[in-house]
Amino acid sequence: MPEKSPILLESGTNELEIIEFLLGDQRFAINVMKVREIVTPLPITKIPHSHPYMEGIIELRGEVLPVIDLAKALHFPASVHPENDKFIVAEFNKQKIVFHVHNVTRIYRISWTQIEKPSQMYQGLEGQVIGIVKVEGQMLLFLDFEKIMVDMNPDLGVNMQQVKKLGKRERSQKKIIVAEDSPLLRKLLHETLSEAGYERVEFFENGAEALDYLQSVVANGKDITEEVQLVITDIEMPQMDGHHFTKRIREDDRLKKLPVIIFSSLITDDLRHKGAKVGATAQVSKPEIGELIEMIDSYIL
């Protein structure tokens, strides 16, 4: 894999690097921030009675890692040229996973504004594509890797039981703004935050829409903290990512007092500094909803 460029050391630029990979002739993309390395396939140990998408496990530098057959997970045929196959070693949601793909071709540096939201006509609540990337006359599908993992093991997703463990909750009238592009995660967050007592929650599909709303609130001179008490944002979102969204809030004198919690699968020891640099109040890794709620409590109750 090529050396990581300076963009990965910057924060809040609303740019990212994506790795293009193939399943058959179809082009897909994964955020470089999710990728630890790319290796040629290694011997796989099969696991009896495992999920159909699970090829088995490998040992890589002393670590035992699960291998997901991404073609099978997306209902694509098996590789026609297995000599070109690659293993993408990814890390998100505090886990390392290996995705078996048919080839890895190149890296692009793009803006989040180049990623279009999929149409509801071909992408419902349960869809696995979160964005369409147009580069150099090609269309790349930006996959929801977290959802693929949750489909295989629902325990990896947002869990209502974490909220129930917090005990009986008082109802709160504090208003929370959430920027999250995944329809499924918006639904789960709505349910879990409501269970936790937070009923005044307004959702936006990306940082740009959420920022427009916040700016419209203060446009007529209102104090933002009287109208909104806290912002929660994902990182990976079409049009405007969570780091840039957080940076824009901090740069606006009318908005900068707002607490901003980044809730993302990309909160790792290696990447936490990026959120800190743009002024995030706190950062919580998905799917730790219990930790998120305790964090919300500490800032607005």
Mean pLDDT, residues 215-219 taken together? 95
- When pLDDT is cut at 50, 70 and 90, the band that residue 116 belongs to is confident
Number of domains in the chain: 2
170 and 106 both lie in a single domain: no
148 and 259 both lie in a single domain: no
Q: What pTM, to 2 d.p., does this model score?
A: 0.88
State how far the alpha carbon of 128 is from the alpha carbons of 118, 141, 182, 222, 265, in Å: 10, 9, 10, 40, 16
Percent pLDDT > 90 in the chain is 67
- Look at residue 287 in the predicted model and tell me its pLDDT: 87
- Look at residue 103 in the predicted model and tell me its pLDDT: 97
- Look at residue 2 in the predicted model and tell me its pLDDT: 42
150 and 165 both lie in a single domain: no
- Look at residue 184 in the predicted model and tell me its pLDDT: 80
- When pLDDT is cut at 50, 70 and 90, the band that residue 144 belongs to is confident
pLDDT digits (tens, 9 = 90+) for 89-99: 999 988 899 99
Q: Which domain holds residue 199?
A: 158-300
Are residues 87 and 98 in contact, defined by beta-carbon separation less than 8 angstroms? yes
Q: Is residue 175 part of a domain?
A: yes
State how far the alpha carbon of 212 is from the alpha carbons of 149, 206, 220, 249, in Å: 32, 10, 14, 11
Q: Is residue 81 part of a domain?
A: yes
Mean pLDDT, residues 200-222 taken together? 94
Are residues 200 and 174 in contact, defined by beta-carbon separation less than 8 angstroms? yes
CA 207/CA 199 separation, integer angstroms: 21
- Look at residue 50 in the predicted model and tell me its pLDDT: 92
177 and 68 both lie in a single domain: no
Q: Is residue 172 part of a domain?
A: yes
Final residue of a domain: which of 154, 184, 212? Answer: 154
Q: What is the CATH number of the domain that holds 74?
A: 2.40.50.180
Per the listing, tokens 């001179």 go with 221
Q: Is residue 32 part of a domain?
A: yes
Kindly state the tokens that stand for 37.
């390395």
Q: Is residue 4 part of a domain?
A: no
Q: Buried b vs exposed e over 206-216: b needs ≥16 C-beta within 10 Å?
A: bbbbbbeebee
Question: Does pLDDT of 9 surpass 70?
Answer: no
Mean pLDDT, residues 148-175 taken together? 83
- Look at residue 188 in the predicted model and tell me its pLDDT: 87
43 and 99 both lie in a single domain: yes
- Look at residue 122 in the predicted model and tell me its pLDDT: 57
Question: Does pLDDT of 169 surpass 90?
Answer: no
Q: Is residue 7 part of a domain?
A: no
Q: What is the 3-state secondary structure (H, E, C) of the chain?
A: CCCCCHHHHCCCCCEEEEEEEEECCEEEEEEHHHEEEEECCCCCECCCCCCCCEEEEEEECCEEEEEEEHHHHCCCCCCCCHHHCEEEEEEECCEEEEEEECEEEEEEEEEHHHEECCCCCCCCCCCCEEEEEEECCEEEEEECHHHHHHHHCHHHCCCHHHHHCCCCCCCECCCEEEECCCHHHHHHHHHHHHHCCECCEEEECCHHHHHHHHHHHHCCCCCHHHHCCEEEECCCCCCCCHHHHHHHHHHCCCCCCCCEEEEECCCCCCCHHHHHHCCCCEEEECCCHHHHHHHHHHHHC
Mean pLDDT, residues 25-54 taken together? 94
Question: Does pLDDT of 182 surpass 50?
Answer: yes
pLDDT digits (tens, 9 = 90+) for 233-265: 999 998 999 999 999 999 999 999 999 999 999
Q: Which of 125, 122, 124 is nearest to 139 (CA)?
A: 122
142 and 23 both lie in a single domain: yes
CA 25/CA 170 separation, integer angstroms: 53
Q: Is residue 8 part of a domain?
A: no
Mean pLDDT, residues 156-160 taken together? 76
- Look at residue 128 in the predicted model and tell me its pLDDT: 81
Mean pLDDT, residues 190-215 taken together? 94
Q: Name the residue with higher pLDDT: 261 or 156.
A: 261
User: What are the residues whose beta carbons fall under 8 Å from the beta carbon of 142, sequence distance 6 or more?
Assistant: 18, 28, 29, 30, 115, 129, 130, 131, 132, 133
- When pLDDT is cut at 50, 70 and 90, the band that residue 1 belongs to is very low
166 and 126 both lie in a single domain: no
- When pLDDT is cut at 50, 70 and 90, the band that residue 176 belongs to is very high
Q: What are the φ/ψ torsions at residue 186 (nearest 5 degrees)?
A: -60, -45
